[in-house]
């Protein structure tokens, strides 16, 4: 690294990462796994030539937390997150950053799909294995699930980076327009083009989007979407099967038995972590995510109490992969327990699944009177998918999900609101 590089954000993060790994054993823990699996990629990150995904950094921090006498892990984690975010922002803002991100995202999406197929095949092999033959398929399945979880996390991270880059460019364009407007005022008002669909050919893409947003804002606004099961089908149509919420009961209060079950699961996990058996530990987290929904907040509490807070994101990722009804039940339980941040994390991760499943999960949440969580889920969908993909979620229940999808897009940005409005009009002329 040159002297100049040592003082930029990427260089600062590389130095932090190198200092972190110097305290770790390259033959043990997750660090040992990364050294064996991708030594060249790890070396590139340590030398500042590339940036690791956050899940890799998080795993290294977990290794650090297992060392005797380490008491500054929480501080190291906060510093790692800050330096990593700064390095990513600098890296992505370089010329060619957007095309490079899109190319890498396409690779990661293919990887995620490939890992999903491998998990499915290994699950079938594990079910077909006879007595005494299940150990190897179970271990391979645990590793495949870990690979799948990491691939999904990296897809989400890349989509978030693209979104941040887009928002930064939009904001820079707004500031440039503001400066041009202020500078032109003294010379007389020129920068006005005709607006509306009939003049679309005369507008730049940015101006067209702004015009569409202004045109939509000036139109009569639909009534605010009522919330809850009792308002199903109240948007000018009779409810279809997809519109009808399930009316599932709210999360039940935690029982002593549920607390014991959560404590037992975390005790097993702690033992596996102590023996450095990462594959089986991940399998334990997968099993925990499939426990009854009211136990999810209890599991998180026990993980935090046992010093295993770094396993919480993995637990939430596995819960995000549950069927829509199970996902909604988990989000409901987290909201009932007052764990809003964990619930938001769960819902953000859930948008990696097919759009139709996201839509069904939103309906399940509405059926549980969790309108805020349904809105959070759809906002995450709007952030991470192309407008046409996100708008397809409304097809399952247009009268219910259409207005909610617009509301979610508006909470993201006016630009996204305009895109989703246009996509909805195109899909449902």
Which of 347, 381, 383 has its CA nearest to residue 364?
Answer: 347
Of these ranges, 68-72, 173-177, 209-213, the one predicted with the greatest mean pLDDT is 173-177
Whether 276 has a pLDDT exceeding 70, the answer reads no
CB 113 within 8 A of CB 101: no
> Cβ contacts of residue 392 below 8 Å, gap of 6+?
355, 356, 427
Q: Give pLDDT, residue 330.
A: 95
The answer to whether position 287 is within a domain reads: yes
Residue 359: other Cβ atoms inside 10 A: 25
Domain boundary among 106, 130, 162: 162
333: left (phi over 0), alpha (psi -120 to 50) or beta: alpha
Pair (158, 236) in one structural domain: no
For residue range 327-384, list pLDDT tens digits in order: 999 999 999 999 988 998 899 888 878 889 899 999 999 999 999 999 999 998 888 8
- pLDDT on residue 393: 92
Confidence label for 429 from pLDDT (cuts 50, 70 and 90): low
Give me the half-sphere count of Cα atoms (radius 13 Å) on the Cβ side of residue 109. Answer: 14
Decide if 188 is inside a domain: no
Specify the pLDDT at position 366.
95
Question: Are 241 and 136 in a shared domain?
Answer: no
Residue 230 has pLDDT above 50, yes or no: no
Residues 124 and 241 in one domain: no
**Does the pLDDT value for residue 321 go beyond 70?**
yes
Share of the chain above pLDDT 70, in %: 76
Is 122 contained in some domain?
yes
More confident residue, 138 or 401: 401
Q: Are residues 388 and 251 in the same domain?
A: yes
Look at residue 251 and tell me whether its pLDDT is greater than 50. Answer: no
Q: What is the structure's pLDDT at 71?
A: 53
pLDDT above 90 coverage of the chain, percent: 20
DSSP string, 88-146: HHHHHTSTTHHHHHHHHHHHHHHHHHHHHHHHHHHHHHHHH--TT--HHHHHHHHHHHH
pLDDT at 186 over 50: no
199: left (phi over 0), alpha (psi -120 to 50) or beta: alpha
Same-domain check for residues 30 and 145? yes
In a domain, 211, yes or no: no
Q: Give long-range contacts, CB 8 A cutoff, 24+ apart: 100-106.
A: 101/158, 101/161, 101/162, 101/165, 102/162, 104/158, 105/155, 105/158, 105/159, 105/162
If pLDDT is split at 50, 70 and 90, which confidence band does 299 have? very high
* pLDDT, average across residues 418-425: 91
In a domain, 331, yes or no: yes
Residue 225 above 50 pLDDT? no
- What is the average pLDDT value for the chain, to the nearest integer? 76
DSSP states of 16-84: HHHHHHHTS-TTSHHHHHHHHH-HHHHHHHHTTSS---HHHHHHHHHHHHTSTT---HHHHHHHHHHHH
Are 149 and 21 in the same domain?
Answer: yes
| pLDDT over 60 at 204, yes or no | no
Where is pLDDT greater, at 198 or 24?
Answer: 24
Domain boundary among the residues 146, 162, 178 is at: 162
Who has greater pLDDT, 97 or 205? Answer: 97
Region 398-407: mean pLDDT is 93
Do 146 and 235 sit in the same domain of this protein? no
Range(s) of the domain holding residue 12: 5-162
**194 — pLDDT class (breaks 50, 70, 90):** very low
Do 272 and 398 lie in one domain? The reply is: yes
Task: Give the CA angle between residues 177, 95, 165 to the nearest 5°.
Answer: 60
Residue 199 included in any domain: no
pLDDT tens across 71-123, in order? Answer: 555 567 778 888 998 999 888 888 888 888 888 888 888 888 888 888 888 87
Identify whether 221 is part of a domain.
Answer: no
Domain presence at residue 184: no
- Greater pLDDT, 151 or 398: 398
207 band by pLDDT with thresholds 50, 70 and 90: very low
Q: Residue 145, class by beta-carbon neighbours within 10 Å (0-12 exposed, 13-18 middle, 19+ buried)? A: buried
Note the pLDDT of residue 137: 67
How far is the C-alpha of 200 from the C-alpha of 207, rounded, in Å?
9
If one counts the domains in the chain, the total is 2
Q: Per-residue confidence at 231, pLDDT binned at 50, 70, 90? A: very low
Residue with the larger pLDDT of the pair 221 and 191: 191
pLDDT for the residue numbered 379? 92
Local confidence band at 253 (pLDDT 50, 70, 90 cut-offs)? low
**Domain final residue pick, 109, 139, 162:** 162
Confidence of residue 183 (pLDDT cuts 50, 70, 90): low
pLDDT at 6: 41
- Determine which of 207-211, 324-328, 378-382 has the lowest per-residue pLDDT on average: 207-211
Q: Are residues 21 and 153 in the same domain?
A: yes
pLDDT at 106: 83
């Amino acid at each position: 690294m040159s002297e100049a590089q040592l003082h930029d954000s990427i260089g600062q993060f590389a130095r932090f990462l190198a200092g972190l790994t110097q305290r770790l054993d390259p033959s043990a823990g997750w660090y040992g796994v990364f050294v064996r699996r991708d030594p060249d990629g790890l070396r590139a990150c340590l030398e500042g030539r590339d940036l690791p995904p956050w899940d890799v950094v998080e795993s290294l921090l977990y290794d650090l937390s297992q060392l005797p006498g380490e008491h500054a892990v929480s501080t190291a984690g906060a510093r790692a997150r800050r330096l990593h975010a700064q390095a990513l922002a600098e890296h992505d803002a370089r010329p060619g950053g957007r095309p490079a991100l899109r190319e890498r995202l396409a690779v990661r999406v293919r990887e995620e799909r490939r890992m999903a197929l491998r998990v499915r095949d290994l699950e079938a092999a594990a079910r077909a294995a006879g007595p005494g033959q299940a150990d190897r398929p179970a271990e391979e399945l645990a590793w495949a699930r870990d690979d799948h979880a990491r691939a999904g996390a990296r897809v989400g991270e890349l989509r978030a980076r693209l979104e941040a880059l887009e928002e930064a460019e939009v904001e820079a364009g707004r500031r440039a327009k503001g400066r041009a407007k202020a500078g032109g005022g003294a010379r007389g008002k020129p920068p006005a083009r005709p607006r509306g669909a009939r003049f679309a050919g005369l507008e730049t893409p940015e101006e067209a989007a702004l015009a569409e947003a202004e045109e939509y804002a000036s139109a009569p606004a639909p009534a605010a979407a009522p919330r809850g099961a009792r308002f199903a089908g109240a948007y000018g149509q009779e409810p279809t099967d997809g519109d009808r919420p399930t009316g599932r009961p709210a999360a039940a209060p935690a029982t002593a038995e549920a607390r014991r079950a959560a404590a037992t699961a975390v005790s097993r996990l702690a033992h596996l972590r102590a023996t450095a058996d990462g594959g089986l530990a991940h399998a334990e987290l997968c099993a925990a995510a499939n426990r009854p929904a009211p136990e999810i907040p209890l599991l998180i509490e026990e993980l935090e109490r046992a010093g295993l807070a770094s396993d919480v994101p993995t637990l939430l990722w596995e819960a995000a992969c549950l069927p829509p009804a199970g996902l909604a039940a988990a989000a409901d339980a987290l909201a009932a327990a007052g764990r809003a941040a964990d619930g938001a994390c769960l819902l953000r991760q859930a948008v990696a699944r097919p759009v139709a499943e996201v839509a069904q999960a939103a309906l399940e949440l509405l059926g549980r009177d969790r309108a805020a969580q349904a809105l959070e889920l759809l906002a995450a969908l709007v952030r991470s998918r192309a407008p046409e993909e996100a708008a397809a979620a409304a097809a399952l229940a247009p009268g219910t999900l259409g207005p909610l999808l617009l509301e979610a897009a508006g909470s993201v940005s006016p630009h996204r609101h305009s895109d989703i409005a246009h996509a909805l009009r195109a899909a449902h002329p």
